[in-house]
């Protein structure tokens, strides 16, 4: 399921030499190699940014249905190494939407690159050692835990909402798995003479604790419930594959991002302390809007600051270059999705 241009070129070149085809033989065999690999899968993963990789063959593309949006996970780790107070809303939106028109992408917040030994999962970057002592619901929390759970939900939803037409979870990311992955390995000496210590062939980290997400007495359960709610939202509204996407607000001082995807309006408040009453957000369609997903709901480990029974009526005054708008309450470090009530 992976196309690597260098592998294709080397493979085609070797075949051409055997066949005595010269340069034209390389070109023909390279085409054949791409077709052969295309038959092996529908999703392609390659890091060169090959144009038209996920466009139909009829329009000059390679023919894969999807490509992996690989820059997003690296961007989140880059941001998490600093303070979220310094995050730039425009930079986040640019990374999530920086893809070629009509080339469908599968996006993800993290993968094996982040979870393998030597790096940290997003959850561990956010909450670190507090995850070992303060994830029980019947015990105290800490500012690190509250911040981490809130941002983990926001990172996943904005990645799903703006990052592409498909969304990928990775081995416990759906509930914030705390630990890294490490395969059993012994010590080794590289050709350069450098000594690489092993882990005594331990299987301790060669696993994923999926029981954590199912344990109702742990905060992981609420994080997993939120992931399920994200999937149900997509199943009901089909926003990921909608042609309509418009980012109406990237406010650096407020730390707010507002965008439309399909019929839905997404409101993200990344500010660490400021909550905004009567905050006006633009929309395309007039009428009444209701909350259909709220990261701050108690079910998801939030503080329950949003009233889900409230009806939000649009006004005809333009806002953020949108023909209509409505007012919302957006608490700090939350994301809320609104849908038309009709």
The Cα-based distances of 221 to 41, 114, 144, 260 in angstroms read 34, 22, 18, 29
The Cα-based distances of 255 to 86, 97, 114, 201, 335 in angstroms read 10, 18, 26, 46, 12
pLDDT of residue 65: 83
pLDDT of residue 63: 79
Distance CA 65, CA 105 (A): 9
CATH of domain 71-237: 3.20.20.80
| DSSP letter string, 208-230 | --THHHH-TTBHHHHHHHHHHHH
Rounded mean pLDDT for each run of 10 residues along the chain, 342 residues in total: 46 48 50 65 63 82 84 94 94 95 90 78 94 96 97 98 94 90 90 91 89 96 98 97 96 98 98 97 97 98 96 94 97 98 86
pLDDT of residue 8: 47
**How many Cβ atoms sit within 10 Å of the Cβ of residue 316?**
8
CATH of domain 245-340: 2.60.40.1180
Would you mind telling me the total number of residues written for the chain in this entry?
342
Tokens of 212: 């954590």
Distance CA 10, CA 237 (A): 45
Helix axis angle, 71-80 to 89-97, nearest 10°: 160
pTM: 0.86
pLDDT of residue 25: 45
- In sequence order, the β-bridge partners of residue 246 are 260
pLDDT of residue 40: 60
């Amino acid at each position: 399921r992976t196309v690597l241009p260098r592998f294709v070129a080397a493979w085609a070149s070797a075949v051409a030499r055997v066949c005595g085809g010269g340069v034209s033989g390389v070109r023909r065999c390279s085409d054949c190699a791409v077709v052969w690999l295309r038959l092996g899968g529908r999703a392609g993963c390659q890091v060169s940014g090959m144009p038209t990789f996920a466009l139909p063959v009829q329009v000059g593309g390679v023919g894969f249905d999807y490509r992996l949006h690989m820059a997003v996970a690296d961007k989140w780790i880059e941001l998490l190494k600093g303070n979220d107070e310094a995050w730039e809303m425009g930079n986040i939106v640019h990374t999530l939407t920086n893809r070629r028109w009509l080339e469908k992408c599968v996006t993800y917040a993290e993968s094996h690159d982040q979870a393998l030994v030597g790096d940290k999962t997003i959850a561990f970057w956010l909450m670190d050692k507090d995850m070992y002592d303060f994830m029980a619901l019947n015990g105290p929390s800490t500012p690190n835990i509250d911040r981490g759970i809130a941002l983990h939900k926001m990172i996943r939803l904005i990645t799903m909402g703006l990052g592409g037409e498909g969304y990928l979870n990775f081995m416990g990311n759906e509930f914030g798995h705390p630990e890294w992955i490490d395969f059993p390995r012994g010590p080794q000496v590289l050709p350069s003479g450098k000594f690489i210590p092993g882990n005594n062939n331990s299987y301790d980290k060669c696993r994923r604790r999926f029981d954590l997400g199912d344990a109702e007495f742990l905060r992981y359960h609420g994080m997993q419930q939120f992931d399920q709610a994200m999937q149900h939202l997509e199943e009901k509204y089909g926003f990921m594959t909608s042609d309509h996407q418009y980012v109406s607000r990237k406010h650096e001082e407020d730390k707010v991002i507002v965008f439309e995807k399909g019929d839905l309006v997404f409101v993200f408040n990344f500010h660490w302390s400021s909550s905004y009453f009567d905050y006006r957000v633009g929309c395309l369609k007039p009428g009444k809007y209701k909350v259909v997903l709220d990261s701050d709901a108690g079910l998801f480990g939030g503080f329950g600051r949003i009233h889900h029974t409230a009806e939000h009526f649009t006004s005809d005054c333009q806002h953020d270059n949108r023909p209509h708008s409505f007012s919302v309450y957006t608490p700090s470090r939350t994301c809320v999705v609104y849908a038309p009530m009709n």
